Amino acid sequence: MKNIILFGKPGAGKGTQAEFLKVTFDLIHISTGDVFRFNLKNETPLGILAKGYMDNGDLVPDEVTIQMLEGEVDKHPNAAGFIFDGFPRTTSQAEALDTFLSKKAMSISATLALEVSEDILVKRLLNRGKDSGRADDQDEEKIRNRFAEYNSKTAPLIDFYKAQGKFHPINGEGSITSIAEQLTDIVEQL
């Protein structure tokens, strides 16, 4: 079983490459954002719980997010593996994910980090914002604020996964095909 975390700043190409990995290696792609939206829209018990925190302006506790992810993993008992996209974002979430997976006799195989300069990411996101209409992709100040948030909270995960020998940086500035080839080389070796 290959369980991969796809890691990178907003606009790094995680969604594009997750789709490629999903098809190439027959993996289940779990996007935390999609899981949240599903639970909120369908008013599942976890969605109602999460909405309560969100309505109060609080962050949804890691335990609630992990329970949502566990539900997604449980839906696919015969999966060849999973791509976790958008989680973990902090070291405490990474520890919670490891604990959850170990209960299922699973573990993270690799963290694949798409590395792209912030200036290139700003251009990508501003272009995406024109097409998608996403407000958070149309304002450079907001984009750079997201990078600052990422750098302060998510970047420490690099050391967490390096210590486990599971961190693999990928140059995310090339063509989609060349990035996919780099990812394939790593995943085939897992």
Q: What is the mean pLDDT of each run of 10 residues along the chain (190 residues)?
A: 92 91 95 86 92 80 89 92 90 91 94 94 87 79 86 87 95 93 94
Q: Which of 89, 123, 144, 166 is catalytic?
A: 89
- How far is 97 from 175, CA to CA, in rounded Å? 31
Q: Residue 3 contacts by C-beta under 8 Å, 6 or more apart in sequence?
A: 81, 82, 84, 101, 106, 107, 108, 109
Q: Which residues of 93-132 are buried (b: 16+ CB within 10 A; e: fewer)?
A: bbebbbebbeeeebebbbbbbbebeeeebbebbeeebeee
Fold of 2-116+154-188: Rossmann fold (3.40.50)
pLDDT at 34: 85
Tokens of 141: 């100040």
Q: Tell me the backbone φ, ψ of residue 170, rounded to 5 degrees.
A: -130, 135
Judge whether 124 counts as a catalytic residue. Answer: no
- How far is 145 from 57, CA to CA, in rounded Å? 19
End-to-end CA distance of the chain: 9
pLDDT at 171: 94
pLDDT at 160: 95
β-strand pairing of 28-31 with 110-115:
unpaired
Q: Which of 123, 128, 144, 166 is catalytic?
A: 128
Q: Which of 134, 142, 153, 162 is catalytic?
A: 134
pLDDT at 90: 86
Nearest to 89 by CA among 120, 111, 117, 121: 111
Instruction: Report the run of H or E that residue 138 belongs to, with start and end.
Output: none
Judge whether 128 counts as a catalytic residue. Answer: yes
Q: Which of 22, 51, 144, 146 is catalytic?
A: 146
pTM score, two decimals?
A: 0.85
Nearest to 46 by CA among 33, 31, 65: 65
